[in-house]
Structure 1
Amino acid sequence: MSLLVVENACCRYRLHSHWLAGHKEVKAVEKVSLQIAEGERFALAGESGSGKSTLARAILLLEPLASGKILFDGADISALKGNAQKNYRRQVQMVFQDAYSSMNPRMQVGEILAEPVRSFALKENEARAKKRISSMLECCGLSAKVLARYPGELSGGECQRVALARALLPQPRLVVFDEATSSLDVTLQNQILGLLHQVRQQMNLTYLFITHNLAMLPHVADRVGIMQEGRLVEVLPAHQLTQGKHSYTQKLLAAAPVTHPKDRRALSK
């Protein structure tokens, strides 16, 4: 069963400039349709500006659709209001590329992690909330010592783990990872990807993984959608990426840096 269905989604931006007579409309996402099954790992890949993040923001109700629709568990998300919309936001969470910038630098980690518990009214007293937070930190490979720290006192890897813990605390059904490992070095990337694998198995997560790093796709996705200039040009199994028929897919593969023999083997399977 499809948890998320995107039907002919279009997003537009209006660029205003004194060099232009009025404004220019940019087609950021153009008639994109895709389905993500419950429990599936789906990835969107493509160059910067291809529309990947704009589509993700539309799924998260952070960007309006110009036309088309997005269904979550059969319901049109644009029609959700009040408590129904709030419940949707609880079920669909995001881990941003720059974890540090997504946190309030004046709040301690404990306060940052308490926010989703409080915001989504998870009906837990203070003792149970603290236990839930500590358990999630442990699940994400962090000790309770980080609760008293501020984001600026964390390493890049610790920041990303805190961001993941925050996204998982509301017990979402879908998590969107927008270039969530691109700011980390290769060692930390591998650690975070290993953590995602563990967490997904424990929580039966569905996720949408956005990246321009094709080498990691066979390790993080079941299927891959290739986006070019706002359009979804091809969808194929991640382990068959090198068999993609679209010329743009082949262009991306030819330009992809593969630095580890394991990545080269994974791409060629």
Structure 2
Amino acid sequence: MLSYRHGFHAGNFADVLKHTVLVHILEYMTQKDKPLRIIDTHAGAGVYKLNGPQAQKNREFDNGIGHLWSTAQTPAAITRLLDLVRTINDGKQLQLYPGSPLIAQTLMRPIDRLFLHELHPADFQFLRDCMRDDKRIKVEHEDGFAGLQALLPPPERRALVLLDPSYEVKSDYQHLIKQLLQAHKRFATGTYAIWYPVVLRQRIDEMELALKKSGIKNIQLMEFGLRADNPEYGMTSSGMIVINPPWTLWGAMEETLPWLAENLGGETGEAFYRLEQLVPEK
């Protein structure tokens, strides 16, 4: 499907959660003095102009990065994301919001490699321009599910895979699980980070059940919602499921998720979070 454009949603509450987790994982994995392969299956445009027509249409960033921009006291994981966004904006007014490719490019080292996939022709062009011919990075004009298996197992023997499809069609949920199971079979020690939106809770329940039955160990779930599940409101919450997470991630989310619920939840009192060990490590 080619109708989805992330520019309309850039910097919203779901991006804050997704990218807070991503920054934490990347900073942890790049501490080790060995190369890392990073694979982003649905990369988007790379960077988004918050003063542009897409972001300005619904201004979803107002209850996301825009709200956090001037907040003085933030948890450590949120602070790290804000530091990165401020660097990209040269410490000035908030105008640009990084997608996962630019976050990865900013945090990766010369020894690391980044593989980006984007199917939408306009976003692919933006993405390629954003990466500025960085020799560490390969940008493919394709659905990342199509190229994922060929990139595993990585010669680096270490990998982070971000799976972030648009979920425009119902089959995206089942297709993601199928691709994930195949990828994990090829490279069981990799770290896999899955972003999901909650529009219809049943689909998330089915994903969780499939993972619990898969035989894969060490799976954590972290979710943040603005209001109780209600299909009439569209995406009411979103989450990240991480396989083989850094041991430090749980503690970071124990601090971050309650803070997000308190600070981005508005005055309705409906904001909530989940932090669950879906499958134990052993």
Q: Same fold (TM over 0.5)?
A: no
Instruction: Calculate the TM-score normalised by the size of structure 1.
Output: 0.34
Q: Whose Rg is larger?
A: 1
The answer to which structure has the higher strand fraction is 1
- Higher RCO structure (Cα 8 Å, ≥6 apart): 1
